[in-house]
Every structure is written in structure tokens, then in C-alpha cells.
Chain A
């Protein structure tokens, strides 16, 4: 049975035809029953039911407002929800109950969203499969095949979105591909906006100059609606753009100039995945789009190293604050500050977090800083310029979201860190350039979803919406 869309559900809920308290109860039950899928790091049952009751009272008072009225919304663990344990998937944030809501959470609540819980992720977003979990956390299991990964780092968000047989959307986050990748592996729509379009205030940082909060939904329309409600200028985030999007519901690819990124259909890409992606591209052509191949040699080659160096350098400073003094995990207070901080950090960071802290610290150390960190920052400019040039010719660029379908956990275990990083080949370029992109399902290979990714120029989210809707309708 097809679940109601977010806008249908909200409209129904406003009339009082849906008992929001009952609906929320039912959903929370389903989530708790699916506990072994590990979609959630914490379920905010009390908050959700409290909100549901408040919304019910609003209906009675005739004050029902909001485009997400009564809609269950899950939030990636790295996004602060006031009074709800927010750990970004890390043991070192155990017991952190933010005293404030992230701007996106405030906005969603203002639209009537019911916050049902914090979704699981790689620790601080450090991964592609949600398997680099913090100590004591478990990796989410793909709802289509529990032996397989949900992708990462917003794995829990994608997992619950695919799993849900009820109306639901998820607030996710991407630094280098963390929305597109799990959306692809779970077969849902994942929308990553232009850098700065959605406020990062309240986001537990991975890498400040790369992090983007975005949305996931079962459909393009659902994810677009959520993105619309959480976007807009925020004076609490200096990097927030003075822009707001509003989508006009339209599916059209007519006359659209679409560039097929050559490098992402060849070596390193599973041929089945390539084939399915090409099939989608052909559909766009049928709908009147002009298709041509384009080469992005610099991005294909250098985006991964530049991205990882910047991300690691920034994250190593973001993670410096975790030292067992003001929030999160504490240890017995003993020894000098160096001893105490080292003890807390060594005992509570997971392995990948340590690896990235070490690499990031190294990349910005004097003597190495110019060659690694600064060079990567300059390379980023070059990579952005390559895209800018491409968008003079094209409206949309297209590639398979991931080079493979969701791998099995035992396969992931065999990958070295560098092999894992290389999996982000197709998603990292759009992310390092802060370009809006969407991943939607293009078909299935071995019964697992294959995602296709569309990227547009800065602030051209509407174009993505139109083209993605065409693909979705053709499914």
C-alpha cells in the first residue's frame, strides 16, 4: 500500500481526521519493534507524544498551522534537539542534552513536525556505510536486506525512511555525500542543498566549510517539502545564505541540457550500476532533455584527496572540544589537564574518529600544513571553477550516486580505510563544491536499489526538483 505523502497527511491531520496521538503511538511502537535494525540512536517518545497532544489541542482551538502538521520527522543524531540526547553517534557525547534546538528543528517544529528520534550514523559522520559507529553503537541494517549496509553517514535516516510504511521524513546531513549515499543504498530520495541554504546552527560539526543539512523522504516531493521548510536565512549561522527556496511542483526535463559525467561511468563503477543509470538518462532524453557527455578530469582525480584533507583538518579542530569537562562523557577527574584530556579522548572516541583526528592534526601541523591543508584548500577553488565552467553549458550533471549497490557488512570489513574513502568518488565533487544535488532511485540490481544523482549549480534546487520528478514518474 502506498503511504500518504507529507502534504496529504498534513492536510488530513489538520482536519482532525487523523488522531495524531494515536498515530504517533503506533509509529513509535513500530520503531521500537524494529529495534534490531538500529535506525535510531535514541527515540524521543515523551517529546513526540507531548508534541502530538499539543497539536491535537491546536486542532481543537482551531489554530492548526504548518506544512508538516503532525508529520513524524526523524533527525540525524548530529543535529541538536533540545532536551534529547544528541551524540552524533559518539560515546564521547554520552549524556549531552542540548539546551537549545538546532534552527532546522525549530523550523520543523514551527511547521507542526513531531520529532520522533535521533537516527544512527557513522560517528560524527566519518564513514560511507554507517559501520564506523561510536563505541557502544550499532550499525543500521538495510531494510531491504539486513546483511547489507544502509550506507552512510546518514544511514539511520535512509533506513527508517525506506522501512516506514507510514508518512515520515528525515532531517539528514551531508559533508561529502552522506545524504546521497544512503539514499541510493536504501532507494529513497535524498536532497542535499547548496552550502549555506539551510542553517547549520545546532549541527554538531564534522567539517564546517562542507557540512550541509538536507532532507530525505520516500519521494522527491516529500524530501523537497521538508527542505523547503528548513531552509532560509539564519542570523545565528554566519555562513547562512540570504536565500529561501520554494518549489513549484512541476515535472519537466524539456529542453534541459544534461551533462553525463564521463569519468563516473567507467572504471571503478559496477557495470550493472552504470547500465541502470544510463537507462534513466535515456528516459530523460525521451522527455525532451538534451544529453551530452562531459568530462570533469580535475574533480574525478583530485576531489577525494582535497575533500578528505579539508574535512579531516577541520574535524580534528571540531573534535578538540571533547575533553570531559563541560558535557558528554566524563572520567574521574585526576592527573594534569594533558593526562585527563588524553584519557577521556582515548577512552571515548572510536577507531575512525581517532584515525581522522590524527590525519587532520597532521595535515595542519607546522611543516606539513602548506603541503597538505593549504594545498587542498587551493585545490578546492580549482575544483569549484571546473564545475562553474560546466554549468555554463549544462543545467544538470548526472552520475550514478554510488559505484556499487549496498555492500554486505562482511565485504565492508575487508575494505581498507583508503578503499572506503574511494567509494565516495561520485558524491564528493558536488559536496566539496557546495552544489545542490539529489539522489533518487533509478532501478534495482540484485534486488537492491541503485541511485542516480543529479547536480545543479548553486541555488538551482528547483531544476533538480523538476528533473528528479520526471525520473520518479517514469519509474
Chain B
């Protein structure tokens, strides 16, 4: 069984309880701090309104029940990354509770709670975690708003956990509350084999690492069970280099957090009106969108899901579908663009700055008018995205227009046919093999530039 505690950084301008910038101009350590996020004696927190609105959006989008009255608490634990040695978080009553995310299989992963809290500082261990005799602390991150999303232990495999996180990030992208470029998603992963103690892997960064950490841990625990050994309750860390988990501390020394109310903050009370207003402001989320796209544009359910996988992709699709046919827009977005992003190892939204939509619209128009073929479309798109090339120029410079090439291909075909009368006779007699033979020859003659489909078409025409 797997349960996750995900920490997601909210995309605000200022920190959760002070007005320090969340995206400082320099990378210098401790250059984006004030008395509040450094926990200097005498300083006091004041809640960032936007962060609360964002948290409410997330809780609603995750189908949570919103608690109309809530407050903040102090969670006391001593650690060099905590500027006050307590974290301002929520304990008794979180903003949202009892939500869920539905996986593609229809299985619901229950969400126990969604709450708002402050991020600790970043620690640097100069000569590695284990051998450093001190740590370097950078409080620039201290106080950045996080939402913590805690699931029930509902996931049966690392793959399900991965899908959960994929769905979660999709939702966050639709809500526009998460900074995909700079933000991080971190998770504490609880994993247990039924009937045994659980282990917690702390602070795993990124979806891929979560999946890898869980895969390793599942294997390790199953192996122990197989050998009849006991699994101890403990906290483990994930080593990104070796893709393995290591024991950090056994659970019996568990910290007593001694939660109390945060007396420097006041109680919060939401009106039904406010909650409804936020609920109404929620954008159409991916599952609804996938259904709508399939129905409205007549594209396959699979493609509709791919496109709805992020707000960015679906916006792009709808934009193109206005200019050309849905079929073309779909081919470009789910076929061409997604595979380029995949090849570049980037999330689609990260490619956004590289796209010139109006230039791409011209390119799609050419394809729609059958003036270029699929191959030309792809090549021009790659040149545009990876090299910033205007796709229209690319087509012109490389003579990829169909009209220009067709004449040449025709000449090549004629040449091949007249040089191979026997094969032509065989073909006319119904021998399919000789067609392939002739296509092959013509391909070689064109030095691979021509499209096999087109050669085939011309040969068939000429040998009717």
C-alpha cells in the first residue's frame, strides 16, 4: 500500500507570511530574506491572501470538503532548516478534507487533507550529507507557500502513485497555481506490504524520483518479506544517483511536535459565498475537457486525453482548431508537438516560449491545403522549435512543397519504369512484389528525398 504526502510550491509573488520575493533576482544565498522568514526575535507573520485563495482552489479541484473555519498551528521540531524551530502549518482543521482524484482506471485515490504551510530553508552539505561536519543554510526558500496534499494509503503500485502525481500536476496546471519552471513537487512516500510495518521515504523531489523510490522500496520490502525478515518502521531517504533508499532514522525516536495554535495569526472564517465564488472561478479540468474535446472535435478519446493532459496543450489545440481542421490541429498537437517535447525531455508547457503560434498556423494551413506532406510538416516544426526557424522559410529553402517535388518524382519514376520493362510487365500482371521493387529503385534514385507513398501513387497511375 502506498500513501503520499505531497508538497507543492504555490506560484505567488511573495512568501506565505512576509513580503520577501519568491523569485529573487539573484541566486545569492540569503538574499531574499527578512526578519520574519529568518525567524528573528520580534518579527510576526501575516498571511498572504493569494496563497490562501490558491489553496482553496486546489482543495476544491481535488473534490475536497472545505472547512469554513480553520486556523494555523505551530509544529515544533528542531532542525537547521527551520528558522523558528517550529513550522507554521495546519493541524486540527485543514483547509480541505475528504477529497479524491480519479485514475484512468476509474479507481479513486482518497485525499485525507489539503493544507497550507511554510517551506523550510534549503540545506547544502558541502562534502555530502553523511560526511559534512556542518551544513550551509540558505533561507531564501524559507517561508515560500506550500500546499500539502495527504492521500489515504490507496495506491497499490508505484505506477498508480505515478499516475496519481500525473493527474495532480495536470490539475495544478489547469488551476495555474504552480510554477512549472521554478517550482518543485516533493513527496514523503509511505509504503508498506500488507500486514507489515511501513517505511516512509522523506522528501523525494519530482514525479520520476517518486516512482523510482517506490519501485526500489517495494522491491526491497518484498524481498525482506520473502526471506521472512521483519520490516522495521523507519524513515528513509532517497539517493537520486543510485536510485535507492537508505535508512535515516528508526521511528521510535519520533519527534513530538507539540502542536499549539499560532497566536500571532488570527482565526479564519470563510463565507459560503466566498467558497462558491472560488468554485465557480475554477477552470474546466482535464477529465471534463477530454470528454468535451472528443465530442466537440470528433477526435479519438485517446488523443483527447493526451491533449487535455495539460492546460497548455489543450489551449494550443483549440487555438489551432480555430484556424484549421480539428484533424490537422490534433495531428500537430498530439502527434508532432508532444513527441518533440518528449524527445527534448521537457514538459509541453516548458516549450511554450519557443512557439510562434501565428507562424505555426501558416504551416498548418500549408498542410491542410495539401501543399506539403507530413514529413515536411514535422521537419519544419522541429526546425522551428529547436532552432527558432520560421517554418515557412524552412519549407521554401528546402523545396518541400509538393508541387515542386512532384514533377521531379514523376521524372524519376518515368526513368525507373523505362529502365525496367520486365518488372513493369510483372506488375501489370498483378505481382505486388515488383511494385515494392520499383518503389525501392525510385527511392534510391531520389536519394531518399521522395516519399514512398507518393512514388507508389505515381507508379500505379503510370501502369494502369
Contacts and interface: CB of A to CB of B under 8 A. Distances in A.
A–B contact (CB under 8 angstroms): yes
Interface residues of A, number: 47
Contact of B260 (A86, A236, A314): A314
B39 interface: yes
A247 interface: no
Contact of B41 (A317, A321, A341, A377): A321
Interface stretch (A51-59, A202-210, A450-458): A202-210
B265 interface: yes
B263 A209 contact: yes
Contact of B44 (A237, A364, A377): A237
B40 A369 contact: no
Contacts of A325: 80, 137
A238 B258 contact: no
B41 A88 contact: yes
A365 interface: yes
B437 to A, nearest CB: 76
Q: State which size class the interface on B falls in.
A: 20 to 34
B134 interface: yes
Contacts of B134: 333
B76 interface: yes
Contacts of B35: 98-100
A317 B76 contact: yes
B45 interface: yes
A411 interface: no
A238 B44 contact: yes
Interface residues of A: mostly helix, strand, loop or mixed?
Answer: loop
A276 B41 CA distance: 41
B430 interface: no
Interface stretch (B83-91, B183-191, B229-237, B376-384): B83-91
Given A200-B44, A364-B259, A320 B38 contact: no
A133 interface: no
A364 B260 contact: yes
A205 B84 CA distance: 12
Interface in A190-231: 200-205, 207-209
B421 interface: no
Given A317-B74, A321-B84, A202 B42 contact: yes
B25 interface: no
Contacts of A238: 44-47, 264-266
B263 A93 contact: no
Interface string A139-169: 0000000000000000000000000000000
A313 B260 contact: yes
Contacts of B39: 321, 326
A102 interface: yes
A235 interface: yes
B43 interface: yes
27 contacts: A80-B41, A80-B42, A86-B41, A86-B42, A96-B41, A98-B35, A99-B40, A102-B42, A200-B44, A203-B42, A204-B41, A236-B46, A238-B45, A238-B46, A316-B258, A321-B39, A323-B85, A325-B80, A325-B137, A326-B39, A327-B41, A337-B80, A341-B78, A361-B258, A364-B76, A364-B258, A364-B259
Given A321-B83, A333-B134, 4 more contacts: A208-B263, A208-B264, A236-B44, A316-B76
Interface of B: 35, 38-47, 74, 76, 78-80, 83-86, 133-134, 137, 256-266
Going nearest first, the 3 A-B pairs with the smallest beta carbon separation are A208-B263, A209-B263, A320-B85
